[in-house]
Chains A and B, each alone.
Chain A
């Protein structure tokens, strides 16, 4: 009974560290990259390995990110209730957990395929070292590196399936890279004061809301074009391309609307739609490929 309560308690402390929705979305992109390769032989062992290694690595990098950012998390209303800023979890324990989970994820990935492991490690390194530790507190442009690391799971999945880094894989990663600003910048407009209080430079605080919205609109368009390139490149049927076009009209329309008729409602609607758009695009690629 005592063991069970310890496990439950640890679970409650650890689970918020991995940003489950974000991790799940990145996991879906990785699976999409793999499935898009149309491997002639697709085994459950490989599929499970891909899923577990990506889950561990993405979770590990998120835990390390939370460990490093615990001081700024404590200054923001949105994040101050997380276990680390709240003090309910020891920072050393979180650091060890993040390192162990990351090493397990990268180790498993390397044991499956060298190129897959290298891309997975690159994602971890870029996210933790370049984005979080080096640039996040220095420049608003750090999100470019956040975007590159966000594109690594899909590139890794594709590389595992094809055995190489090909143009489709890179286009997939570019799509994620260009989608990230829509996701993060709408968020940083909504929580402008939070980021300001924590001293984290963001596009809204550096360039103003109007320019940020223009960047969001342009990056949404870029992401849509990149995914369209992928959808066409992997030979999705016209039915999927039609539905994809419809969803793209939605995101580009909302982004344009946020530029010309900005409001809190449109801004947060765009944030939510962007996640749905990416998830929908990934599901369409999977269904259209299978």
Chain B
């Protein structure tokens, strides 16, 4: 689905939006491939957490640059936030680094969830765009499941989370593709 979106689904965007969506869907595609080939242990790597944060960041940036007239403030905010999170990951302790990444996820996730809803209810987009919000909820749920698992507070067994995650990723990507087609 992500490959299809990258090849066929980006014909009417500006170069910047196309690049941002390509990074977002590209990272989704690579994440799925690497999970398939190398297993879930790969997610325990520090760098993977940082790179994975680029998925919601670039998707939200793509949405903002595509749908809003004024996107500079959010772009600067989220980019600087991401750079700080990377620096903290490299030079700081685990908790502060995790917290900074959490903030970035929260900000970009909020844009992915709320912006399509606002656009639809103000008549600026078709109903399909709500699928992006739905996709955001799905991947957010997946992220929370993994986060709780990593923190040792999971309500589900590891095997259950591991078997659910690919399904969540599939439906998330499908929802994003349908949403952007609107």
Residues of B within 8 A of A272 (CB): 37
Would A246 and B6 count as touching, CB distance under 8 A? yes
Residues of B within 8 A of A268 (CB): 38
Residues of A within 8 A of B42 (CB): 265, 269
Do A242 and B33 contact each other (CB < 8 Å), given the known contacts A265-B38, A269-B38?
A: no
CB of A144 within 8 Å of the partner chain: no
Return the contact of B7 from the options A239, A249, A265, A266 (Cβ within 8 A): A239
Provide the main secondary structure of the chain B interface.
helix
Residues of B within 8 A of A100 (CB): none
CB of A243 within 8 Å of the partner chain: yes
Give Cα A246–Cα B29 distance, bound, in whole angstroms: 8
Q: What is the CB-to-nearest-CB distance from A147 to chain B, in angstroms, rounded to a whole number?
A: 23
CB of A240 within 8 Å of the partner chain: yes
CB of A273 within 8 Å of the partner chain: yes
Do A269 and B37 contact each other (CB < 8 Å), given the known contacts A246-B22, A246-B30, A250-B30?
A: yes
Would A249 and B30 count as touching, CB distance under 8 A? yes
Would A240 and B7 count as touching, CB distance under 8 A? yes
Would B37 and A242 count as touching, CB distance under 8 A? no
Q: Which residues of A contact B (CB under 8 A)?
A: 237, 239-240, 242-243, 245-247, 249-250, 254, 265-266, 268-269, 272-273, 276
Give Cα A28–Cα B42 distance, bound, in whole angstroms: 30
Do A239 and B8 contact each other (CB < 8 Å), given the known contacts A265-B41, A265-B42, A276-B37?
A: yes
CB of B26 within 8 Å of the partner chain: yes
Q: Which parts of B1-37 form the interface with A (CB within 8 Å)?
A: 3, 6-8, 10-11, 18, 22, 25-26, 29-30, 33-34, 37
Could you list 23 examples of A-B contacts with CB < 8 Å? A237-B7, A239-B6, A239-B8, A239-B10, A239-B11, A242-B26, A243-B7, A243-B26, A246-B6, A246-B25, A246-B26, A246-B29, A249-B26, A250-B30, A250-B34, A254-B34, A265-B41, A269-B34, A269-B37, A269-B38, A273-B33, A273-B34, A276-B37
Give Cα A245–Cα B6 distance, bound, in whole angstroms: 10
Residues of A within 8 A of B18 (CB): 242
Residues of A within 8 A of B25 (CB): 246
Give Cα A254–Cα B33 distance, bound, in whole angstroms: 12
Would A242 and B34 count as touching, CB distance under 8 A? no
Ordered nearest first, which 4 A-B pairs have the shortest CB separation? A246-B26, A239-B7, A269-B38, A243-B6
Residues of A within 8 A of B7 (CB): 237, 239-240, 242-243
Give Cα A46–Cα B37 distance, bound, in whole angstroms: 36
New A-B contacts (4) at CB < 8 Å, excluding given A273-B33, A273-B34: A239-B7, A245-B26, A265-B39, A269-B37
Q: What is the CB-to-nearest-CB distance from B58 to chain A, in angstroms, rounded to a whole number?
A: 12
Q: What is the CB-to-nearest-CB distance from A189 to chain B, in angstroms, rounded to a whole number?
A: 16
Give Cα A27–Cα B37 distance, bound, in whole angstroms: 23
Would B30 and A242 count as touching, CB distance under 8 A? no
Residues of B within 8 A of A239 (CB): 6-8, 10-11
Among A240, A242, A249, A276, residue most surrounded by chain B Cβ atoms (within 10 Å)? A242
Would B37 and A273 count as touching, CB distance under 8 A? yes
Residues of B within 8 A of A265 (CB): 38-39, 41-42
Q: What is the CB-to-nearest-CB distance from A244 to chain B, in angstroms, rounded to a whole number?
A: 9
Residues of A within 8 A of B26 (CB): 242-243, 245-246, 249
Q: What is the CB-to-nearest-CB distance from B157 to chain A, in angstroms, rounded to a whole number?
A: 23
Q: What is the CB-to-nearest-CB distance from B21 to chain A, in angstroms, rounded to a whole number?
A: 9
